Amino acid sequence: MSPTLSKKILAWYDNSKRDLPWRVSKKSPKKLYYRVLSEFMLQQTQVKTVIPYFKKFTKKYKSLESLAKINENQILKLWEGLGYYRRARNLLASVKLLVKKYDSKLPKNFEEVKKLPGVGDYTANALLGFIHNQPTLAVDGNVKRVFARYLNKKETKIDFKKLISLNRNSLFITNRNSDFIESLMEFGALICKPKDPKCSHCCLKTSCKHLKSSKKTKTKNEKKVKTINYDIFCYINKKRQIALTKKNEVSFLRNFYLPPIKKMRNNSNQNNWIFLKNYKNSISNLKLNINLYYKFSNKIPQSYYWHSIKSNKEFIPSFTRKIFNQVSTLF
């Protein structure tokens, strides 16, 4: 790898980086809090979606210590709408551990950082780079694509750990390791984009093998979308409440309250249930095809509870809120 790659990307970054709220000065006392919070939020979520949530959190909880004091329901309520709720639970558990066990500091050892709940190789590398300026790279989808295109290879054919270790001396030549991690991600998001990369404006265009090659490798395998069919059953009582339960046949919202849901079966018996409508919903790479049924009833099975459709006090996943919206058309 050419040693000029990092210098060129850093120079581009210095001129073109976005002003993002978690990018605070290296000496800021908020640095760890902002980085931990944003890294959890950015897992599988775009920057523009994360910004308002990040601002909402940091306005309400000004420090790692204040966030560490809240409970799971409070964080879920604040996280509502951002999806992948396991991240909120892991964030809270990690923040509590950082405050209690590590005196609100990030450990310097990779294996120790990985012990934080919800922190894998990617987040551990990102945090160690951002907070301790360690020479490491956080290899997300953007970074993989940049290297794959630069080398004109398929992402799946590259061993990124090996690539980084073999090119350590040429990649980390500036001692701006924290900025280098960020610059590569930013470069992938703004210049070497998934679709229509801006090759004519690219600082790497003279050495990029993808651009030069007449045989351009398709660097990424398309994500497979899976369609699942579900039947959802809504018990509704006279007070316009809906029955929710945690006992459901769904893996993507395990441990959350939802109306009873079953995988659609050809021979399923919908006796006594009234068909309301069919609609589609998407969660990550899942396409959900939903048949919604209802019945008015004051009796519900044990382990179900009545929830007011209009109530906004408790945390309710957006998947369930969409069901509420459909059911509201009955009234």
What residues contact 291, with CB distance under 8 A and at least 6 apart? 229, 230, 231, 232, 264, 275, 278
Contact with ligand SF4 (CB under 6 A): which of 98, 113, 126, 202?
202
> Least distance (Å) from ligand SF4 to the CB of residue 180?
16
Residues contacting ligand SF4: total by CB under 6 A: 13
> Least distance (Å) from ligand SF4 to the CB of residue 167?
16
What residues contact 45, with CB distance under 8 A and at least 6 apart? 82, 83, 84
Beta strands in the chain (DSSP E): 226-236, 241-245, 261-263, 274-283, 286-296, 304-308
Applying CB under 6 A, which part among 170-178, 207-215, 276-284, 298-306 lies near ligand SF4? Answer: 207-215
Applying CB under 6 A, which part among 99-107, 200-208, 248-256, 269-277 lies near ligand SF4? Answer: 200-208
Contact with ligand SF4 (CB under 6 A): which of 76, 92, 139, 192?
192
- Beta partners for residue 279, in sequence order: 290
> Least distance (Å) from ligand SF4 to the CB of residue 127?
26
Is 65 marked active-site?
Answer: no
Of the candidates 12, 31, 71, the one whose C-alpha atom is nearest the C-alpha of residue 189 is: 12
CA atoms of 243 and 239, how far apart (whole Å): 12
Give the residue with the Cβ less far from ligand SF4, 5 or 98: 5
The mark string for 123-162 relative to ligand SF4 (x by CB under 6 A, - otherwise) is --------------------------xx------------
What residues contact 101, with CB distance under 8 A and at least 6 apart? none
CA distances from 187 to 23, 85, 91, 130 (A): 16, 28, 27, 17
Interaction site with ligand SF4 (CB under 6 A): 149-150, 191-192, 197-199, 202, 204-205, 208, 210-211
Active site residues: 39
